[in-house]
């Protein structure tokens, strides 16, 4: 799913690994919550660093949407440099993907943030007010906060049984404080937790940019 925005407002690109779970959910739920304010008409899309081209959105992620029919037309696609350059703001689900974006499109890293970074920085931007009128202006304000505003440290991820064996090492996405772990292929509980995190963070970004109060 993609929202086509006016050229004067700009565009937001959500990025994950396969583009079937985290990034489409983030893009679509951002669209569901960004229903007012100066950025309401922004174009919102998604892609994957190893996108499963043509694959539909996974059912668990669909369940994280307010309206699951928004996912009907989604087909995964692979990220490339042109998509990155065309976007005014790129939000990745993991720190590793943030690095992949920088490698695909050198010189574009100033507008690339993980979703946890983005939620914290958008909150700071909204509190400072007024809200920016374009996505490019939002990205520039966020860039100015890099190293100043950091996301709160998420609770440790606990694993049992097979899920524990398949979970990433503590130094990777689960515990770096900037990423949303990919629970898609771990177990049902991890998958549900991933969807909950992505929904909460993208919803917070959307409601803040809509000029509404957002709960943590």
Which pair of tokens denotes residue 95?
Answer: 């720190």
DSSP letter string over 61-75? HHTTSSSGGGGTT--
Residue 116 lies in a domain: yes
Give the CATH number for residue 31: 3.40.50.2300
Domain enclosing residue 139, as ranges: 11-149+197-209
Tens digit of each residue's pLDDT (9 = 90 or more) over 3-44: 555 558 999 999 999 999 999 999 999 999 999 999 999 999
More confident: 108 or 166: 108
Q: For residue 170, how many other CB atoms are within 10 A of its CB?
A: 10
How confident is the model at residue 129, as a pLDDT? 86
Tens digit of each residue's pLDDT (9 = 90 or more) over 67-85: 999 899 999 999 999 999 9
Tens digit of each residue's pLDDT (9 = 90 or more) over 142-195: 999 999 998 887 766 554 444 444 444 433 555 578 999 999 989 999 999 999
Percentage of residues in the chain having pLDDT higher than 70: 85
How confident is the model at residue 43, as a pLDDT? 97
How confident is the model at residue 165, as a pLDDT? 44
- Note if the pTM is more than 0.85: yes
Residue 120 lies in a domain: yes
Task: State the burial class of residue 152 (Cβ atoms within 10 Å of its Cβ: 0-12, 13-18, 19+).
Answer: exposed
Residue 71 lies in a domain: yes
Residue 145 lies in a domain: yes
Q: Provide the β-strand partners of residue 91.
A: 14, 113
How confident is the model at residue 145, as a pLDDT? 96
Collapse the DSSP code of 9 into the 3-class scheme (helix H, G, I; strand E, B; otherwise coil) and give the result.
coil
Distance, in Å, from the CA atom of 116 to the CA atom of 41, rounded to the nearest integer, reads: 23
Is 50 a residue whose pLDDT tops 80? yes
How confident is the model at residue 180, as a pLDDT? 96
Residue 179 lies in a domain: no
Residue 110 lies in a domain: yes
Distance, in Å, from the CA atom of 28 to the CA atom of 62, rounded to the nearest integer, reads: 10
Residue 46 lies in a domain: yes
Nearest to 16 by CA among 94, 85, 132: 94
Q: How many structural domains does the chain have? A: 1
Q: For residue 9, how many other CB atoms are within 10 A of its CB?
A: 18
Burial 11-25 (b: 16+ CB within 10 A, else e): bbbbbbbbbbbbbbb
Write down the residue that tokens 């000029």 correspond to: 211
């Amino acid at each position: 799913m993609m929202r086509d925005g006016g050229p004067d407002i700009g565009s937001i690109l959500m990025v994950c690994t396969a583009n079937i779970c985290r990034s489409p959910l983030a893009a679509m739920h951002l669209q569901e919550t960004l229903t007012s304010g100066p950025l309401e008409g922004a174009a919102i899309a998604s892609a994957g660093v190893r996108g499963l081209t043509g694959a539909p959105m996974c059912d668990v992620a669909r369940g994280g949407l307010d309206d699951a029919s928004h996912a009907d037309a989604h087909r995964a696609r692979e990220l490339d440099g042109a998509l990155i350059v065309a976007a005014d703001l790129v939000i990745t689900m993991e720190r590793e993907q943030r690095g992949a974006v920088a490698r695909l499109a050198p010189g574009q890293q100033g507008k690339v943030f993980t979703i946890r970074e983005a939620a914290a920085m958008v909150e700071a931007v909204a509190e400072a007010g007024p809200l920016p009128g374009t996505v490019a202006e939002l990205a520039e304000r966020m860039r100015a906060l890099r190293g100043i505003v950091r996301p709160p440290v998420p609770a440790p991820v606990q694993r049992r049984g097979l899920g524990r064996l398949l979970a990433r090492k503590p130094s990777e996405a689960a515990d770096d404080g900037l990423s949303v772990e990919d629970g898609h292929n771990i177990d049902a509980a991890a998958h549900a937790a991933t969807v909950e995190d992505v929904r909460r963070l993208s919803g917070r970004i959307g409601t803040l940019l809509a000029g509404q109060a957002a709960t943590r």
